Structure 1
């Protein structure tokens, strides 16, 4: 039975990779112009020898506008296939298709930690992660969200493992993954709260669980390792900007985008012309549909395009990058003070956009998006309702992670891509309900562990699984 479920898990991983490769090849997003945004510009400058730099708010120069990990990955693709060439983008997107397999493996591992050895629950979570349309579609974008989702999932896996094993090396691995998550998207470092709950939750795993002091040490080790791994980038920022910058310099800028006087709570402009593009640009085939969505997205533009005057840009160009962000932050606060009730309304609107549909994003108006997005939410809520109290307790780290990320975006700015990192967690919620009638730990299938031993990670050994460790 263990071997069979291990092979089913391996099949899900292969299915995830195949679905994403098909999406990339069918939609042809690598042929769409202006699809790389800030990550592509920074990557191009890295390859050209100009360093980690960009033109941002009126001036060119070294930047902390983005975290370093993803632009470095894009730069690696540019080195292989050429700067912003269709070949390099295809290489990058196919690499992200493989990353989707790693994400699915992480969901299988996380689900098993939550529901124990219950094949239907574990495999259901993996199936959702493998085929959920927005997670599949993300592979066709030069976008940090898919990498962020993968790192958040594996960070929670590592922290839960550290809490149950009590091993220092597991806490060190969790710290490294937390640092990579922060250096990919610092907002996602909010998963540290869920990771700490996962470590301390291990104290209730049984009579052999590590003592209070040991869990305190594990938590401290994880946070210290994460801080040490992030420190070089913080030092680089201090050298470049002449002041402390916590990974990215753009919190104030993003807050202004989401809360300035003309904002709808996102970074996009609501334009009637977008509807005309959506209505008039349809063609035969999925690739044409995808090009239409991209055209509508470009037509929507950014708040910056209409809210910043030429004088504003000259003012911002004279300031340092962190100061530009602070100027816009103060401007947003001043505008909110003039209409005190506007900010709570924007927060509630963003919360609705985050969990339901972002009305300012042309891509989220697609029926495919809305059905799949709403379907995942319904499955997740159903799974939570069906899950036992013990399983829901084990889901606490996932709840906290999703809640912190959701709350941050509700208070600052929201976009459809910001929801992607919690979708693998929702897949686990959905699967958890299937373990309701099974006593915890009643079967020995070790689905995710067996997958590692079947060729996806551990390699095939004459068609047989490796023996389980004692």
Structure 2
């Protein structure tokens, strides 16, 4: 059954990438440009300037393909996305088994990751979501019922890699560290040691990127210099006026173009870290000056993150109905999973921590339903928990090593 689900998931992803035979995949965020710079030995550079605007892990994974095949390295992108899909499906199943979920629940979790349209559709472009979802599944599979020091080390390392692929996953890693300290089995000292080891592994994994940015950009940026921009993109007066007070379901048009031109002009010439801080400050000022609209915008972003279908302004009616037909039943099972007491106990609490922390991040930053793609493995595991008996759980674990 597991092999069949895996093959189905890969078939869906491969089918979406068939157009790559005739035209290269889209690269809206310049990850291939960064990979080309890395392949040429220039480091992370765009327009001949050092940058930390995008996270480093995905372009690092693309760089070998660009070195071997040149741009656009289509075969490498396809291989990377198929491998990411296989890892996400397989490790979600492993997490379900390690957490003691029954066979039917394990199968459901794998089916969700194999077939979820929001996640599967991300294979079409050069985007971080496929790799990020695989890393989230790896983190969840690494969380054991009775975590050893080795597991804590491994989980912290994987969480660091996930944050270097998708910075919005960093809060999830910190929440899982907190859960290790307060909810994992054992005496207080042992739990504290696990948490310290996990946090240290997370920090050491991300430290080379921060050190590089301190040396090259003059500021120890741990994630990216893109966060301030996405916060301002979701919280500016033009957006509030057009979308919250106007008829636009998706922000576009002359006011958006004018806003882009104005902010790019203001930030021109600023070092990236300075521009990031300036964008963040502007967003905070708008939210303080217009608290009612800021609250409405937050609720609107929450709705977009959890939307059952993509926007009618962008996608066809048939695609929207197909997505809704999948998502509505899934959300029903997800709610059933969330209200189970066992979902909030160790180790299964790691899944809602990952899911809800990302939802919280995107309640403030620019979002749409695509942003939930990296945590589809967490959604799958919480939903699968609804099929597990509260009284017959037997998590798979080994005796923890001495601390």
TM-score category by the smaller chain? Answer: 0.7 to 0.9
Distance 1:393 1:381 in 2: 21
In structure 2, relative to structure 1, the CA distance for the partners of 1:77 and 1:303 (3 Å cut) is farther
CA distance in 2 between counterparts of 1:217 and 1:42 reads: 38
Distance 1:439 1:266 in 2: 53
Report if the CA contact (8 A) 2:229-2:279 is conserved. Answer: yes
3-state SS of 1:247 partner: coil
Verify: 1:127 aligned to 2:80, yes or no: no
Deviations 1:200-230 (A, max 9, x none): 5764xxxxx5322111111100110111121
In structure 2, the residue corresponding to 1:410 is in which secondary structure?
Answer: coil
Q: In the TM superposition, what are the counterparts of 1:135-174 in structure 2 within 5 Å?
A: 135-158=119-142, 160-161=143-144, 164-174=145-155
Larger Rg: 1
Tell me, which stretches of 5 or more residues in structure 1 are unaligned?
Answer: 1-7, 204-208, 276-298, 447-470
Which whole-Å CA distance do the structure 1 matches of 2:101 and 2:265 have between them?
61
Residue in 1 aligned with 2:216?
240
Residues 1:97 and 2:49 are matched in the alignment: no
Q: Specify whether residues 390 and 231 from structure 1 end up closer, same or farther in structure 2 by C-alpha distance, changes over 3 A only.
A: closer
TM-score by length of 2: 0.85
Distance (whole Å) between structure 1 residues aligned to residue 374 and residue 93 of structure 2 = 16
Indicate the RMSD between aligned Cα atoms, in angstroms. 3.4
Structure 1 match to 2:186: 210
Q: Say if 2:352 is the partner of 1:396.
A: no
**Structure 2 unpaired stretches of 5+:** 397-403
Alignment of 1:162-311 (within 5 A): 164-196=145-177, 199-200=180-181, 203=184, 209-263=185-239, 305-309=257-261
CA deviation profile, 1:297-346 (whole Å, cap 9, x unmatched): xx969987431336x54442221111112222333333444433111111
Please report how far the alpha carbon of residue 360 of structure 1 lies from its aligned counterpart in structure 2 after TM superposition: 6.1
The aligned runs of 1:264-413 (5 Å cut-off) are: 305-309=257-261, 313-356=264-307, 363=314, 367-369=318-320, 371-372=322-323, 375-385=326-336, 388-391=340-343, 393=345, 395-413=348-366
Distance in 1 (CA, whole Å) between partners of 2:288 and 2:101 is 54
8 Å contact from structure 1 (residues 149, 424) kept in 2: yes
The CA distance in 1 between the partners of 2:312 and 2:324, in whole Å, is 14
Distance 2:67 2:228 in 1: 33
| Cα offset, 1:117, TM superposition | 5.0
Conservation of the 8 A alpha-carbon contact between 2:26 and 2:126: no
The CA distance in 1 between the partners of 2:215 and 2:312, in whole Å, is 37
Change (3 A) 1:32 1:415: farther
Conserved 8 A contact 1:156-1:198: no
1:153 and 1:225 map into 2 onto residues whose CA distance is: 18
Aligned partner of 1:81 in structure 2 is 69
2-structure distance, mates of 1:98, 1:193: 27
